[in-house]
A and B are shown apart, each in its own frame.
Chain A
Amino acid sequence: MTVLAIETSCDETGVAVVRNGTVLSSLISSQIRTHAEYGGVVPELATREHLRNLPSLTRLALESANVRPADIELIAATRGPGLPGALLVGLKFAQGFAYALGLPFLGINHHEAHLYSAWVRGNPARAEFEVFRPNVSLIVSGGHTLLVHVRALLDHCVLGETVDDAAGECFDKTARLIGLSYPGGPQLERMAKGGNPSAYHFPRPMLEDDTNDFSFSGLKTAVAYFLRDHPDVLDDPEKRRDLCASVQAAIVDVLASKTVRAAKRLRVDTVTVSGGVACNSSLRHALTMGCQQAGLTLRVADSVFCTDNAAMVGLLAELKAAHGTPPTDLDAEIEPGWSLGDGDKVECGG
């Protein structure tokens, strides 16, 4: 089956063509430069950029996959969660394409697509669903922090999520407090290199809490108070590195510890990680160590599939179609607040 997939949930325009589990093309047009001067994603500008980018990016994705529109058998697009305007243009573009060719259309949950991006490997990249193992999956990005029990392909339940800021949001906001440029997370990671992660102690919110939920807004506040009381830290390059390393350690510690703990409790043998923050090398290292000690296999999504991309949307759509998921109505609307597992936390137990 040949699938054309569109992803526009935030500030990356993504278009991909996948066929029988293999990614034929996956293109991303980043809007980082557009949003940099505002210090964060401006939803209205993101929407305008998606509208400008979609036609040319789709043409390029089809050309680089050597696929004609007439070869496409299924159209998929992210339906939510995400920024309403951004989701809208991607969804309607995909629906328009599907209608013109009389093709089935599938609206995909962005988080559900992330659950499977760690299973995409190789060159050309392909979904290794044949080696799928039940797992605990950490989805961690600028907008989301979720811990999910993936019991089988297309069968999952949410174990926990952030009750306030996402981990990536905490990276970005503390980076801004420190005076780093946008996007703050990667800048903070860069500055943390060579710093002492134990130099300053910041709280590990909800680390000892029995639930699988996260909270990062208190950590951000702790950094703000620390800088109020120790403004000189920013003037010293070494102390600045120590500060960045200490903040990063606090975030990473919570994410890695709670993920490994959930996997052990549920007696799964595999942990997967995806989302923009999964590109953070300190988090990858902490999870690698934690999983090794616990005898767990760790699968981290390749960096190109960590961040928002359409390939994961297309691969999930193909998987769903193969499992008999009926097409989504063409007049289906966006679902900006689409939760991955409404009400499944109780059932999940974890």
Chain B
Amino acid sequence: MAFLETSKLTKRFAGLLAVNHLDLTVNDGEVLGLIGPNGAGKTTVFNLIAGTIPATGGKVIFRGEDISRLPPYQVARRGIIRTFQLNTVFPDLSVTENVVLGSHLQARTGFWGELFKMPATRRSDREIAGRAEQLVASVGLLRQDMDKRQALASNLSYGQVKALTLAIALAADPKLLLLDEPMTGVGVRDVPRLLNLIREINGRGIAILLIEHNMKAAFEVCHRIVVMNHGDKIAEGTPAEVKDNPDVIEAYLTKDGHGA
């Protein structure tokens, strides 16, 4: 059975058909790449799956459950955690605080427990803080100078911000990660490190749906790739199959400049 499945997923913005009857399947444990020229509708697909915007038509099925009408926090509760192109971390909060926020769903106490500082709350907070420390280290963030974990997220370098983005998402204990262009803006030397990190996350049994503009990176890390153009799925297959598909070459050539 498919892990995540969209059937005839459609989004129309006024006159623009952003996503057109898209059938997409993510299998359990897989890294699926979603590529295509600018304006192909990739991020819209993420927004539809995550419940950020309502679909015009079609369905999103996750582990046998129809999640098409759920609000974003309910989708997150089911185990689908997304990242963003912008607003990837909480600025002006420390690195650790960022990761603690990612663990929101793991916290087992509510408002009254926190107001009255119940022992269960303190225990839960301690556990979460401990896990946050581990996660910060596990994404290779600031291993050299641990003091900086108290540093504000806004002071990190671009590559470090990307790593922190992943740490926040991992803290939410995802079953499926939706990564929106994790390589964009990352220095050339950091790309292999991020790829390794994505592979390692996948190795923990987390399925990944990945939007990426860096073709070389996408072909390297994805098991399968879906290519979109103007809201339509134009190709699907292994990286090797997709690379030589004439429709894909055509789509990229007419848009010029996004191939790598």
Query: Do A and B share a complex?
Result: no
| Interface of B toward A, CB cutoff 8 Å | none
